[in-house]
């Protein structure tokens, strides 16, 4: 991890001759459903704000479409991501680039937005390839579990590439923001408020209101853990248990999100759970997200069709995050001896792998934890 920093400073790209030195250049690493919407938001602002270069580069994991054409070529010809965000113009200043190294080499602001399982490989490819003065932000929900413990994706990016990484999370179902319906988001930052405000400026539009809070881990864990609760909410929907049960699952889930976050990082603030990244994201994901939808189908089928099979059939290349996050959380819980403290998180994983039936979501979540997390001590 350490050599990354040394290499970067040698390889800092000089400002291009066609731009003023103070202008920031933005590259978006990722081009799925949310990656494409993020590019659209950013591109509308880089055109408007003089402190940014107009062009937004978007790294695209190249795919061949059923027509035989390359996805990048179609995006650059039609200005639409026909596979992951059809029908939405990204902005003429968005340039799709299949070459990861080329896409990042001039940027001093990097936006990471791929499914979390690909980030370790992407970081490995980027070591020594980014500018020394680069700032990053992660829109990625999920974590990596390593021998030494859980590693948030923003930490993975910071450590592997030797850079500062903020996060942006919120009640943000991509397709709704794509058609400019009003919503909010939260930027989490570690120390530098000025950098956080620059990210706020880059993402904010009249229909997308962004607020910064000094709590990277809290914001990122909210965004990550709510996907596990959404799987539970989907089971409840699939079993047709009704709104009261779903609300109860959401409340227990929020309690476990808060307790888990604070046990892992004592710096996590209670107030973060009342930002868009907290309760608002939990609500929207449990009502409308893809994790909820696929979990509903899983429960309707009595757990007889696997999540992998349902994901492939229902999401057309989009990725589920909740099931893999539930597994990662379960590993942390068993490693630390916390399984009894988090009955909802543990049960979601056990149902997902077929060890328990979907109906166990209420039986097990209702079981009182040995040590009550509801007493306000965590
Ligand atoms: N979609 C949403 O509504 C939404 C909202 C907020 C946050 N997020 C988060 O944003 C992140 C990205 O999600 P998304 O919705 O943009 O993606 P997606 O699930 O829509 O698309 C999957 C993406 O992964 C790419 N891909 C496939 N194989 C790959 C590989 N081997 N290496 C690298 N990339 C590969 C695909 O080309 C595609 O761009 C996730 O962490 C997700 O939780 C999504």
Pocket test for ligand 1, best of 319, 320, 325 (most atoms within 8 A of CB): 319
- Closest residue by Cα to atom 39, ligand 1, is 32
Please check whether residue 373 is in contact with residue 255, taking contact to mean a CB–CB distance below 8 angstroms.
yes
Question: Is 144 strand, coil or helix?
Answer: strand
Q: Say yes or no: CB of residue 280 within 6 Å of ligand 1.
A: no
User: 206: Cβ–Cβ under 8 A, 6 or more apart, which residues?
Assistant: none
- Cα(first)–Cα(last) distance of the chain, in Å? 33
Mutate to test the pocket of ligand 1, among 28, 29, 30 (most ligand atoms within 8 A of CB): 30
Closest C-alpha to ligand 1, atom 8: 34
State the sign of the Cα–Cα–Cα–Cα dihedral 9, 10, 12, 17.
positive
Q: Whose CA is nearest to atom 34 of ligand 1?
A: 61
Q: What is the pLDDT of residue 366?
A: 53
Per-residue pLDDT at 369? 53
Question: Considering all CA atoms of the chain, what is the largest pairwise distance in Å, rounded to the nearest integer?
Answer: 65
Kindly list the averaged pLDDT for each block of 10 residues, start to end, along the chain of length 378. Answer: 34 48 92 98 97 98 97 98 98 98 98 96 97 97 80 95 97 97 98 97 98 98 97 98 96 96 96 98 95 97 94 92 95 93 96 96 64 47
Structural domains of the chain in order of their starting residue, each with its CATH number: 24-214 (3.40.50.720), 219-360 (1.10.1040.10)
**Protein residue whose Cα sits closest to atom 31 of ligand 1:** 118
Residues with a catalytic annotation lie at: 226
What is the model's pLDDT at position 13? 47
Residue ranges of the annotated binding site are 30-35, 118, 141, 174, 290-291, 319, 321
Ligand 1 center to 32 CA (angstroms): 4
pLDDT at 12: 43
Is-contact 261 373, C-beta < 8 A? no
Q: Say what the pLDDT of residue 150 is.
A: 87
- What separation in Å is there between the alpha carbon of 17 and the centre of ligand 1? 34
Specify the length of the chain in residues: 378
Query: Cα(25)–Cα(36) distance, rounded to whole angstroms?
Result: 17
> Could you tell which of 28, 29, 31, 32 is best to mutate to test the pocket of ligand 1, judged by most ligand atoms within 8 Å of the CB?
32
Residue 108 C-alpha from the chain's centroid: 21
Residue 271, both tokens: 């107030």
31 lines ligand 1 (CB under 6 A): yes
32 lines ligand 1 (CB under 6 A): yes
């Amino acid at each position: 991890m350490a050599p990354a920093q040394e290499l970067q400073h040698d390889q800092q790209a000089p400002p291009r001759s066609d731009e003023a030195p103070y202008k920031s250049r933005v590259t978006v690493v990722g081009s799925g459903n949310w990656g494409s919407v993020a590019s659209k938001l950013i591109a509308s602002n880089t055109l408007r704000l003089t402190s940014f270069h107009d062009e937004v580069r978007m790294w695209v994991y190249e795919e061949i479409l059923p027509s035989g054409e390359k996805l990048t070529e179609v995006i650059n010809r039609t200005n639409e991501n026909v596979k992951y965000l059809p029908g939405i113009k990204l902005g003429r200043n968005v340039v799709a680039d299949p070459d990861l190294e080329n896409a990042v080499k001039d940027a001093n602001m990097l936006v990471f937005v791929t499914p979390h399982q690909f980030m370790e490989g992407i970081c490995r490819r980027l070591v020594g390839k980014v500018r020394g003065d680069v700032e990053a932000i992660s829109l990625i929900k999920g974590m990596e579990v390593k021998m030494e413990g859980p590693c948030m994706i923003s930490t993975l990016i910071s450590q592997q590439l030797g850079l500062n990484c903020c996060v942006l999370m919120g009640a943000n179902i991509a397709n709704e923001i794509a058609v400019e319906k009003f919503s909010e988001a939260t930027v989490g930052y570690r120390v530098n408020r000025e950098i956080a405000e620059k990210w706020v400026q880059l993402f904010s539009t009249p229909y997308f209101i962004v607020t910064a809070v000094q709590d990277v881990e809290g914001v990122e864990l909210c965004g990550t853990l709510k996907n596990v609760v959404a799987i539970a909410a989907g089971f409840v929907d699939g079993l047709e248990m009704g709104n009261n049960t779903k609300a109860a699952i959401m409340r227990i889930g929020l309690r476990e999100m808060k307790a888990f976050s604070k046990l892992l990082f004592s710096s996590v603030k209670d107030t973060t759970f009342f930002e868009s990244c907290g309760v608002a994201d939990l609500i929207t994901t449990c009502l409308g997200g893809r994790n909820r939808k696929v979990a509903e189908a899983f429960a309707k089928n009595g757990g007889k069709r696997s999540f992998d099979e349902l994901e492939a059939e229902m999401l057309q290349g989009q990725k589920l995050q909740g099931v893999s996050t539930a597994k990662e959380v379960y590993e942390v819980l068993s490693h630390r001896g916390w399984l009894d403290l988090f009955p909802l998180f543990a049960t979601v994983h056990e149902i997902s792998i077929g060890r328990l039936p979907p109906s166990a979501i209420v039986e097990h979540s209702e079981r009182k934890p040995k040590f009550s997390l509801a007493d306000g001590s965590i």
